[in-house]
Amino acid sequence: MAQFKKGDLAVYPNHGVGKIVSIEEKALGTETVRCYVVNMMHTGSKVFVPVESATRMGLRSIVEPSTTTEIYSSLRERNPLLAKMNWNKRFRYFQEKMKTGRATDVAMVISDLLSLKKRKGLSYGEEKLLHDAEEMLSTELSIAEATDKEKVRAKIYRIVESSLKPSVR
């Protein structure tokens, strides 16, 4: 179980990177529960995550710089079944991937959505999901690599674009 302290950065599924601003006792029914209070960087909202179930709920540390290569590689992957799914099933699939909180899953959502966007366009919900996924992943990777977020975003697009081009034989 990962232990966080005040000031630590952490990633929370579907919310992205946040800063642990405090650890507080919260009344939950008849019990008092210790919670991490996480201020989310992207939205500015506060999320309360019970300390005892933080790992199960997906709260995790920022990825290590040594694992970013694997994450960038995930941007080259596509789910071949997406073309056969209707928009509703496809959207649920993307939401499930985002809920895992794994950076590689978020990268695959970006890759799949950009591929779909190029082929046939995205619905409003898919556009929003793409924007949120890009924001989450670029923020986390920029922190992990100690670099500018816009440079990371540009790299994400370059990798996906290069993987969408038909191979020359």
In a domain, 4, yes or no: no
Residue 169, in any domain of the structure: no
What pLDDT, in 10s, does the model give residues 140-156?
A: 999 999 999 999 999 99
pTM: 0.90
According to DSSP, residue 122 is labeled: -
CA 67 – CA 44 distance, rounded (Å): 27
pLDDT attached to residue 23: 96
Q: Is the pLDDT of residue 109 over 60?
A: yes
Average pLDDT over residues 30-43: 93
The boundaries of the domain holding residue 50 are 9-61
Give me the long-range contacts of 161-168 (CB less than 8 A, separation at least 24): 161/114, 163/75, 163/76, 163/111, 164/114, 164/115, 164/118
Alpha helices, H only, the chain: 68-74, 87-100, 103-120, 124-145, 149-164
- Considering the domain architecture, whether residues 25 and 76 belong to the same structural domain is answered as no
Predicted confidence at residue 164, as pLDDT, reads 84
Whether the predicted pLDDT of 69 surpasses 60:
yes
Of 61, 76, 96, the one marking the end of a domain is 61
Residues 70 and 57 in one domain: no
The DSSP bridge partners found for residue 61 are: 10
> What is the number of domains present in the chain?
2
Average confidence (pLDDT) over 90-117? 94
Instruction: Indicate the pLDDT class of residue 169, thresholds 50, 70 and 90.
Output: very low
Residues 44 and 94 occupy one common structural domain: no
- Do the Cβ atoms of 126 and 116 come closer than 8 Å? yes
The yes-or-no verdict on residue 167 having pLDDT over 70 is: no
Same domain, 152 and 75: yes
Reduce the DSSP state of residue 34 to 3 states and report it: strand
